[in-house]
A and B are shown apart, each in its own frame.
Chain A
Amino acid sequence: MTHVLDPDALSHDARALVAPLPPYDDVTRSDAAFRAFLHGLPGVDQVGAEARAAQLGTRSIKTTSKAWAIDTAISMVDLTTLEGADTPGKVRSLAAKAKQPDPTDPTTPKVAAVCVYGDLAGVAREALQGTGIHVAAVATAFPSGRASKAVKLADVRDAVDNGADEIDMVIDRGAFLAGRYLDVYDEIVAVKEACGDAHLKVILETGELKTLDNVRRASWIAMLAGGDFIKTSTGKINPAATLPVCLVMLEAVRDFRAATGRQIGMKPAGGIRTTKDAIKHLVMINETVGPDWLDPDWFRFGASSLLNDLLLQRQKLRTGHYSGPDYVTVD
């Protein structure tokens, strides 16, 4: 995409300005066509999806595989702070933790990214200079997404200008639930354009979409529109990332790659607090999309308290006993 989109031209056009990848390049030709395509995706049987997710949750990951899983999970964490009370000091302390999660053990891997509001992206960028840790910023009137497109795009450009190299946008759930799928699509296309070189993660906010059929459709909209990652939640709505939702989203990225050849990343966020939860996700990746996604480039955990539990479990494996919350850092 080389041209700059005029945000005002997009809003109620029946035809998407940028076509998706083949073989899907004609599905956005009209509202009706796009709806027919999305509603023609295979349905999701909720009972079956929940049963499958629960079954994967019974895998028993021990000893060497547990050690590998913990380190892999740490390296996939998007260490996140998204509070109204965030300050440069808080962000700097989070950045320090991102670089060296466990001061007692320098072999601990560093996390994938630090995730903040756009106005603090500059602070994070400066604190993480030269570490290879990404700076992710939420944008597009996060978490509700209820603002004009111009404001959302300005929000994105601002975050990128401040040094974010990953943008976590929210989709317009109102438009989605009203059936205006092409509007949702066009907005993602515009945000992707505004991102420039920054990677775009598209937050579906599955807790507001409710049904797994909706989750599948929203995933496809985000992938067709050029999102680099699809992400479950803002973390501000309950339920956030659940295993059945992740299963359906992983199936979507798997099917999308099979059809188009393009691999899309996946990020569950919110509600993943324990090592056990994280390992269940790794098992689910392994057995749903395969090891190609077992990499921080393709899978992230949006989390804050998860990291400390991973560190405690890592210490437990190393020393043979559990320590306490004072043996990991508060941030």
Chain B
Amino acid sequence: MTSTPFEYAPAPESRSIVDIAPSYGLFIDGEFVDGTGEAFKSVNPATEEVLSEVASGSEADVDRAVRAARRAFEKTWGPMRPADRGKYLFRIARLLQERAREFAVLESLDNGKPIRESRDVDVPLAAAHFFYYAGWADKLEHVGLGTQPRPLGVAGQVIPWNFPLLMLAWKVAPALAAGNTVVLKPAETTPLSALLFAEICRQADLPAGVVNIVTGAGDTGRAVVEHPDVDKVAFTGSTDVGRSIARAVAGTRKKLTLELGGKAANIVCDDAPIDQAVEGIVQGIFFNQGHVCCAGSRLLVQESIHDEVIASLQRRIGTLRVGDPLDKNTDIGAINSAEQLARIRELSDIGEAEGAQRWQPACELPAKGFWYPPTVFTDVSPAHRIARDEIFGPVLSVLTFRTPDEAVAKANNTTYGLSAGIWSEKGSRILKIADQLRAGVVWANTFNKFDPTSPFGGYKQSGYGREGGRHGLAAYLKGADQ
């Protein structure tokens, strides 16, 4: 048998399309202004190179931003004809498409995700969200909240680092379509695409104050959430922070939606299309380095096909290409931060110590930057921490089941409930299991598929409220009785 290596030569996307300024201010009332907090650095996690210095918003900065948003809500955006609000959103959507490559490169630089994903998933989906909600702007009477639903006012939004631009789109597009104005706090480690989005707002001539972007860390986020003139708080991130936000908002008039962690079960039945299921397992846990709140981090595979599936999975994982996020052939990029890498390592070590079997493919990791190889744990028991805690990294825990009832019981045995997957060629089985799963999204014979028309959100500690679709608008509107 002959064996010829087919090496793929480096195919890097050029970063020259992106102009990163050495420092950025806050985007308040349509202008970039200096922050009064201490500036922080945003780092490329693949190289540890400092990309830019970014202003940190203090309480006073947040207050300025909220006042600008309030003014815009009362003077321009609120009174504007809904169809005209739609026009602005369409314009933003088109600009996102026009500058898609720029956004994709910037996102990969700042976040560490492979360009294939930022180019094919993050940026097109972000544009799709704006297109979708732009169409809703003058049709709000059909949302289901009566004939005259009204916007809430100023929305304070805090978003995570795993999909910086996409999470911005999920938050900003429905809020604006419903007639609200926003103050958005991007994640500390990934502020750059939000700042480029600020530039898009200016390019689209969006009235000043409609979108305000205040960068910073936890304190800045707290100031946004706790500001008394914010009418609505929307947060995506960890369950711990979500819990403290819920406490801070309790007893106020603010409406709240939370999209938090997950520990999704990906259930593979013995009658599954095996090759596609293996792809789905890979897509479920290694997409975006596993930095996905709805990641299929618990593989529940029917015991009768366990060995076959694991062998296929390991062979497939062996073909994943880990490395330079800007290389067009990279499948797995860098871990977003040293802090996150430490957490992944810690939980993996605990997994091994508790008796699970760790498997990693032979793969060379770059010397600089934050990296973790794709990892599979077999012999995982539901009592192990790697079966319960969200790892938020490229680490899969494999459990088995014998009957559909057992699969459902194990899948639901989690404090989370964001998503789940089922693989079977039998339609009736899929529907029956899906009915019993307590998870906001259930994918059948696919995983990690997103669409602006589809609501997304969790059960239990995965949060409450829905984003996307008509349901996503309801979170930013009130009916006549409210």
Contacts and interface: CB of A to CB of B under 8 A. Distances in A.
Given A58-B328, A292-B3, A297-B2, A42 B279 contact: no
A48 B4 contact: no
B116 interface: yes
A49 B275 contact: yes
B6 A42 contact: no
B431 interface: no
Contacts of B7: 64-65, 68
B229 to A, nearest CB: 46
Contacts of B445: 45, 47-48
Given A58-B116, A72-B4, A291-B5, A51 B279 contact: yes
For the complex, would chain A's binding face be called helix, strand, loop or mixed by DSSP majority? Answer: helix
Nearest to A247: B275
A65 B8 contact: yes
A72 B279 CA distance: 28
A83 interface: no
A47 B351 CA distance: 35
A287 B282 CA distance: 14
Nearest to B3: A291
B83 interface: no
A237 interface: no
B474 to A, nearest CB: 30
A283 B271 CA distance: 29
Interface in A142-198: none
Contacts of A51: 279
Contact of B446 (A42, A44, A48, A286): A48
B425 interface: yes
B49 interface: no
A55 to B, nearest CB: 8
Contact of A47 (B8, B328, B425, B446): B446
B144 to A, nearest CB: 31
B11 A62 contact: yes
B275 A286 contact: no
A295 to B, nearest CB: 5
Contact of A43 (B2, B5, B10, B273): B273
Contact of A44 (B2, B276, B280): B276
Given A60-B328, A64-B9, A291 B276 contact: no
A263 B9 CA distance: 29
A12 interface: no
Contact of A48 (B11, B279, B328): B279
A33 interface: no
Nearest to B10: A62
Contacts of B5: 291
Given A47-B445, A48-B276, A292 B2 contact: yes
A208 interface: no
B276 A52 contact: yes
Nearest to A288: B319
Contacts of B271: 43
Interface centre among A48, A52, A66, A68 (most CB of B within 10 A): A48
B275 A251 contact: yes
B443 to A, nearest CB: 11
A316 B319 CA distance: 30
A61 B11 contact: yes
A294 B4 contact: yes
Contact of A58 (B1, B8, B120, B273): B120
A62 B9 CA distance: 6
Given A51-B279, A58-B120, A64-B9, A45 B273 contact: yes
Contacts of A287: 319
B425 to A, nearest CB: 4
B329 interface: yes
Contacts of A48: 273, 275-276, 279-280, 445-446
A47 B5 CA distance: 30
Nearest to A41: B274
A59 interface: yes
A59 B272 contact: no
A263 to B, nearest CB: 7
A59 B115 CA distance: 12
Nearest to A56: B319
Interface in B269-321: 271-276, 279-280, 319
A114 interface: no
Interface in B47-88: none
Contacts of B329: 59-60
Contacts of A65: 6-9
25 contacts: A43-B272, A43-B425, A44-B276, A45-B273, A48-B275, A48-B446, A51-B279, A52-B275, A52-B276, A58-B116, A58-B120, A60-B11, A60-B329, A61-B8, A62-B9, A64-B9, A65-B7, A65-B8, A68-B6, A68-B7, A69-B6, A251-B275, A292-B1, A294-B6, A297-B2
Given A43-B425, A65-B8, A248-B275, 12 more contacts: A42-B273, A42-B274, A43-B272, A48-B275, A48-B276, A52-B279, A58-B116, A61-B8, A61-B11, A64-B9, A291-B6, A297-B2
Interface of B: 1-11, 116, 120, 271-276, 279-280, 319, 328-329, 425, 445-446
9 closest A-B pairs by CB:
A48-B276, A60-B11, A60-B328, A45-B273, A45-B276, A43-B425, A42-B274, A65-B9, A286-B6
